[in-house]
Chain A
Amino acid sequence: MGLDFSVVPSYADALFLGVLWTIAITIVSALLSFFGGILFAVIALYGPWMIRLPFRFFAWLFMGTPLLLQLFLIYFGLVELGIDLPAFVAGVIGLGLHFAVYNSELIQTAILAVDKGQMEAARTLGLSRTQALIRVVIPQAVRDVIPPIGNNMIALLKDSALVSVIGVSELTLSAQLAIGRTYRPFEFYAAAAVLYYIINLGMEAVLRRIERRTQLSR
């Protein structure tokens, strides 16, 4: 039996819906990972030790264990504690926190690398340390790590396929459902791959735009 791509168009709607869910979960998780990354970086660098120590443990947990396991833990595990999250929410939390930890590492390094003269100039004008961090140091640190954070966001897009296992009907799960009906795994996985690739191109274009817009502010 040869390949027959003619079955794919009849599942176009389902695949398209899958694309939308993939984009949605990627965007929401990316935003969470971005702002969470900034917050975690500030906590890790400037938080009181009562917060910093548990935070180190939490960061280690998220970096040292498989994302798939984390998703199972959040979706299935938390139910035992009476926290029954919808699959989409569990997926966003898992992906978002996982990548927030990675973004936080980048941002911490960048904060420490911002020229000391920046903090001094801000303090000299009368800004408090917190005001100087928020207005001067952190924006520059974040600007400096936009390219590597962008790479993390591309990785996040690809890893969003993992949330199919907890039942979020994103692109991978949509392809699997179609395969279940048609027994055409190659055709649908290939179609899904092409669609991921297209989303990826779109995302890279957006990231490049953001990078270009921050060019002057260096």
Chain B
Amino acid sequence: MTEKTPFVDIRHAQKAYGDLEVLKDINLTVSKGEIVAIIGPSGSGKSTLLRAINDLDPLSSGEVLLEGVQVNKTLPHRQYEKHINEMRQHIGMVFQHFNLFPHLTVRENVTMAPKLLKGLSNAEADQLAEEQLAHVGMSERIDYYPSQLSGGQKQRVAIARALAMKPKLMLFDEATSALDPELVEEVNLVMKKLAEEHMTMIIVTHEMDFAASVCDRVIFMDGGVVVEEGPPSVVFQNPTQERTKNFLRKHLAQYAESSK
């Protein structure tokens, strides 16, 4: 296991916006099938790190590798574009605000990229849409527009859209934090199902319960560094760092209050 190349390998990731250093020399590996939660206070750099993995927010320095292939290669513009578009087909991403394409139906949202990038025929694309939407429990709404769906339904379609590209890795950036509380569970269930299918996932979340029950490893970030990492049982129950304890105290108190 240890001598194998890691599935995802983040090396010396550093990112600054002007004088503001948002990521400070982050090193992180994720193995195949592993489910990693990234937690931490607002502004700690969680989204920035996640978005660096598919080079949506390019790092200032450092490397991101997927199965040994560098994602953020330095290449002439045209070659880089070709390379990154290819890499991104393997890296699914789910956003806090869904970002479904409102002018397309649910079916078209799911099939647009596979048709365009993999040359699927209409029949193949329809079959793919049916499969993927069944997987997230959205078969019934296949010909609806996003405007006709609830937030939870939108997010499930967004997950199906990402899965339709058959990615090797899925990134979630607070997939449930824009949802009404009663809609969170249906999305969590879909993510749990993916976990059971051994999809490799990196999940930025504020939901400690979910992180504890689904993830193999929890990474606590603060101020652009990884402060503490380990299995949820250790990070949540026996954190060693003061900052982790503070965060968990605040967060769990908040959580306890909001769920009253």
Contact = CB atoms under 8 A, between A and B. Distances in A.
A25 to B, nearest CB: 31
A109 B161 CA distance: 29
Interface string B90-116: 011101010111111000000011001
Nearest to A126: B89
A120 B102 contact: no
Given A120-B56, A216-B147, A126 B85 contact: yes
B81 A126 contact: no
Contacts of B89: 125-126
A151 interface: no
A214 B102 CA distance: 10
Contact of A126 (B88, B104, B145): B88
- Interface range, B side: 20 to 34
A131 interface: yes
Contacts of B92: 124
Contacts of B162: 124-125
A216 B145 contact: yes
A3 to B, nearest CB: 52
Contact of B112 (A120, A135, A217): A135
Contacts of B54: 124
A128 B97 contact: no
Interface in B61-99: 81, 85-86, 88-89, 91-93, 95, 97, 99
Interface string A198-218: 000000000000000010111
The size class of the interface chain A forms with chain B is: 20 to 34
Contacts of A182: none
Contacts of B86: 126
Contacts of A216: 145, 147-148
Given A126-B85, A126-B89, A217-B147, A120 B99 contact: yes
A82 interface: no
A121 interface: yes
A180 B188 CA distance: 78
A14 interface: no
A139 interface: yes
B98 to A, nearest CB: 8
A183 B148 CA distance: 60
A123 B103 contact: no
Nearest to A142: B103
Given A117-B97, A123-B56, A126-B165, A218 B85 contact: no
Interface string A124-139: 1111110100011001
29 contacts: A117-B97, A117-B99, A118-B101, A121-B100, A121-B101, A121-B158, A122-B113, A123-B88, A124-B56, A124-B93, A125-B88, A125-B89, A125-B112, A125-B117, A126-B89, A126-B113, A126-B117, A126-B165, A127-B117, A135-B112, A139-B103, A140-B102, A143-B103, A214-B103, A216-B148, A217-B103, A217-B145, A218-B102, A218-B147
Given A118-B99, A214-B103, 12 more contacts: A124-B88, A124-B92, A124-B93, A124-B162, A126-B85, A126-B89, A126-B117, A127-B117, A128-B81, A129-B81, A140-B102, A217-B103
